[in-house]
Amino acid sequence: MLSGKTAVITGASRGIGKAIALELAKNGADIAVLFSGNHALAQEVCEEAISYGRKAKSYQCDVSSFAQTEAVVNEIVKEFGTIDILVNNAGITCDKLILQMNEEDFDRVINVNLKGAFNMIKHTYRLFLRKKSGRIINISSVSGLMGNAGQANYSAAKAGVVALTKTTAKELAAKGVTCNAIAPGFIYTDMTKEMPEEVLSEMIKQIPQKKMGEPSDIAHLAVFLASDSASYLTGEVIKVDGGLYI
């Protein structure tokens, strides 16, 4: 489905990003795995992708840095020849009520989750224009659509990702480039595994399907959005949340 394509996935060493990277590789794409801290985990993702017969390489990058993202995009293009698919998944949380949240808590989450997506789009924009093709997939969140107590920074960033997605889609639509967002709900990742059982139980009660999603649920949609089958779909925000926000 994606044979001959090169995909760049930020925050791809674990969780949703890892699932997306490997699903893209399973469907034929070569992958550039961007990570911020754990080189060993990023290498594991690359090795699994290579076992599928794909080319894969990891790159350490702080996506909140304009200079680092520019440098890594240039390096990827030099190594892979081009970029066809960009998945902006990198994200962090620092959950506190606004009363306890300080400026650094707010700025760091905005800089990684929102500015990071802008940085990566900015530095691949001309390439997509020249190619007159491309797929940009931004990972937002239902928290960015409905808000969530204790997540003023995260919800604001993810709401910003939605607006960034729609703006990018409008700017690039006539050039054959699509830009869509996925808004996950409660997904079972390493982060949620560490939550107390009673907290998870209360979360699940809020979900009409009465279960958490899996990273694969997001990955399967990402593959579709990256494919030719989604060529007439742009500027959309698709919730994958078991009915949490209807």
Q: List residues with catalytic annotation.
A: 154
User: In the numeric block, which tokens belong to residue 155?
Assistant: 């919800």
Question: What is the C-alpha end-to-end distance of the chain, expressed in Å?
Answer: 31
63: Cβ contacts below 8 Å, ≥ 6 apart: 10, 11, 34, 36, 69, 88, 90, 112, 115, 116, 117, 119, 120
Asked if residues 139 and 89 have their Cβ atoms less than 8 Å apart, the reply is yes
Report the distance separating Cα 212 and Cα 96, nearest Å.
23
Asked if residues 92 and 99 have their Cβ atoms less than 8 Å apart, the reply is no
200: Cβ contacts below 8 Å, ≥ 6 apart: 192, 212
20: Cβ contacts below 8 Å, ≥ 6 apart: 9, 12, 87, 89, 215, 218, 219, 222
| Strands lying side by side in the sheet with 134-139 | 56-60, 30-35, 6-9, 85-88, 134-139, 177-184, 237-240
Pairing of strands 134-139, 85-88: parallel
Task: Using alpha carbons only, give the angle 181, 186, 191 rounded to the nearest 5 degrees.
Answer: 105
